[in-house]
Amino acid sequence: MSDHILQVANLSKAFRGVRAVQDVTLAVERGAICSLIGPNGAGKSTLFNLLTGYLPPDTGSVVFDGREITALAPEAISHLGIARAFQIAKPFPGMTVRENVRIGALFGRTGPRDVEAVTSHALGLAGLQDLHDQEARELTVGQLRRLEVARAVAARPSLLLADEPCAGLNHTETLEMVEILRRIRSAGATVLLVEHDMSAVMQVSDTVMVLETGRLIARGTPEEVTRNPAVITAYLGTDE
């Protein structure tokens, strides 16, 4: 078994001549929490769309758990064990938290499962046990973020792609989300995270990768990346 659960080689995507993702090659270690950062328009969301089959790449390949998934549809990729928590949560508002999460347990990775047990486990990881019978329409922004993550976790992924789970959260909620991501990793999933909250990235990441104008410009530990001159210039800014 490879140490890398995800391997991306020479991945590119252009829209009307604008190269949103340019020849990206990267690998995600099995069992790690990896963060993908970069300024707005760097290509992060496009890369996530390529990894999950929402967009076909112009060139390059994506290998997940030893199998090439480049040409597969999103549902086929989900069946193999990749789930995505979207930046904008769109639950079924009239359904309860538990009912929303249960939908994830009904789908996702193929194989036998106890739907109710999976649902309860996902609720526990996201800290939503006490809200299980509350309708989604009644949730706060922070609670909706946790619901989106729980619904993805209920799909039983080996790899969770989390798209800005800390967006719009206050300091306390951000710390809670960091702990949720750690629990998900401890439960056996690898996490690939897109996030703008640098405090959260520094706390939770084993590895940080940096995109700028569609290109991967840096990779390393959080400490290494924050000292990288190219990253300071492109993303973190300078003191001048």
Residue 1 buriedness (CB in 10 A; 0-12 / 13-18 / 19+): exposed
Give ∠ CA 53-55-61 in degrees, rounded to 5.
Answer: 65
CATH number of 4-236: 3.40.50.300
Model confidence, pTM = 0.94
Burial of 214 (0-12, 13-18, 19+ CB in 10 A): buried
Residue 240 in this model has a pLDDT that exceeds 50: no
**High-pLDDT (> 90) share of the chain, %:** 90
Tell me the average pLDDT across 2-7: 92
Nearest by Cα to 8 from 47, 37, 35 = 47
User: Rounded CA gap, 165 and 7, in Å?
Assistant: 23
Instruction: Give domain limits for the chain.
Output: 4-236
| 87-125 confidence digits (pLDDT tens) | 999 999 999 999 999 999 999 999 999 999 999 999 999
* Residue 230 banded pLDDT, cuts 50, 70, 90: confident
Rounded distance between C-alpha atoms, residue 42 and residue 132, angstroms: 37
Contact 61, 68 (CB under 8 A): yes
pLDDT tens per residue across span 162-174? 999 999 999 999 9
